[in-house]
Amino acid sequence: VSTPKAINKIVLYPNPVSNDLAINIPQSGCLAVYDAAGKQIYSTNVTSGTAILNTDGYSDGIYLVKLISDKGTDIAKFVKRKG
C-alpha cells in the first residue's frame, strides 16, 4: 500500500498557526501571502523544499498562500491565531 502524495500542491502546517508556518513548496516560483481582504502582504521567490513563514506580525484571521510557477498556480489557506 502506497501513501498518496500531493502533486504540485502547497502543503501548510501547522494550521491554524500561532507563529512559524512551514510551507512545503513542490517547485520553484513566486510565493505570495494575501490577507482576507485580498491585499498582498508578502511576496518572495522560492525554490522547491520547505520554507518557514514567520507570522508573528499577522493579525488573527484567514490568509491565502499563492504559488505561481511554470507548472501553474496553487492556492492554500491558513488560519492565524495568537498563541
* Rounded-to-integer distance, Cα 52 and Cα 3, Å: 25
Q: Distance of CA 30 to CAs 4, 64, 80, Å?
A: 26, 14, 22
* Rounded-to-integer distance, Cα 35 and Cα 65, Å: 9
Burial of 33 (0-12, 13-18, 19+ CB in 10 A): buried
pLDDT tens digits, the chain, 83 residues: what are they?
655 444 578 999 999 999 999 999 999 999 999 999 999 999 999 999 999 999 999 999 999 999 999 989 999 999 999 86
* Rounded-to-integer distance, Cα 58 and Cα 5, Å: 30
**Per-residue model confidence (pLDDT) at position 3:** 52
pLDDT tens digit string along 38-48? 999 999 999 99
